């Protein structure tokens, strides 16, 4: 994404989540409604919003009992097969990822060492392994040490 989230990006995310994005003045809104009202979820993506003294992409997720945010989102990967979108942000070699599922599930992984994505998962404890596996889908869109990667990754399923 590298600083922008376009209308095409909004449609791509909506297609995977199975809902049309609702364009608001400052953001896109996705309302995921399921048969179980306890699994309803709202995702808001602010493509260019003030965050402190900078501007960036901000994501907010609202559920019946949770409010999560991801600041300075730098990219996303969609998976049709899994019915989910993984959004990622990187700062100083640490990743944070927000995964939103078509069926109303949501996971947040914060401050994960980038090295975990390409390491040997079998050498990690199960409590650490999950974050590495979940965020490994984003490795292809992360900037390399020498330059920027693409803003969105291929469909992973």
The pLDDT tens digits along the chain (157 residues) read 456 899 999 999 999 999 999 999 999 999 999 999 889 999 999 999 999 999 999 999 999 999 999 999 999 999 999 999 999 999 888 899 999 999 999 999 888 877 777 777 777 777 776 677 677 777 777 776 433 433 555 565 5
Q: What is the 3-state secondary structure (H, E, C) of the chain?
A: CCCCCCHHHHHHHHHHHCCCCEECCCCEEEEECCCCHHHCEEEEEEEEEEECCEEEEEEEEEECCCEEEECCCCEEEEECCCCEEEEEEEECCEEEEEEEECCCCEEEEEEEEHHHHCCCHHHCCHHHHHHHHHHHCCHHHCCECCECCCCECCCCC
């Amino acid at each position: 994404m590298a600083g922008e989230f376009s209308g095409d990006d909004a449609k791509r995310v909506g297609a995977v989540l199975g809902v049309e994005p609702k364009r608001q003045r400052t953001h896109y809104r996705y309302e995921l409604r399921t048969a179980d009202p306890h699994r309803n979820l709202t995702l808001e993506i602010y493509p260019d919003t003030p965050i402190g003294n900078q501007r960036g992409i901000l994501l907010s997720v609202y559920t019946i009992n949770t409010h999560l945010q991801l600041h300075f989102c730098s990219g996303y990967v969609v998976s049709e097969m899994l019915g989910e979108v993984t959004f990622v942000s990187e700062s100083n070699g640490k990743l944070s990822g927000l995964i939103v599922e078509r069926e109303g599930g949501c996971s947040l992984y914060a401050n994960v060492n980038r090295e975990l994505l390409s390491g040997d998962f079998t050498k990690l404890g199960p409590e650490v392994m999950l974050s590495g596996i979940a965020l490994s889908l984003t490795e292809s869109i992360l900037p390399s040490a020498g330059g920027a990667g693409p803003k969105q990754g291929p469909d992973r399923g």
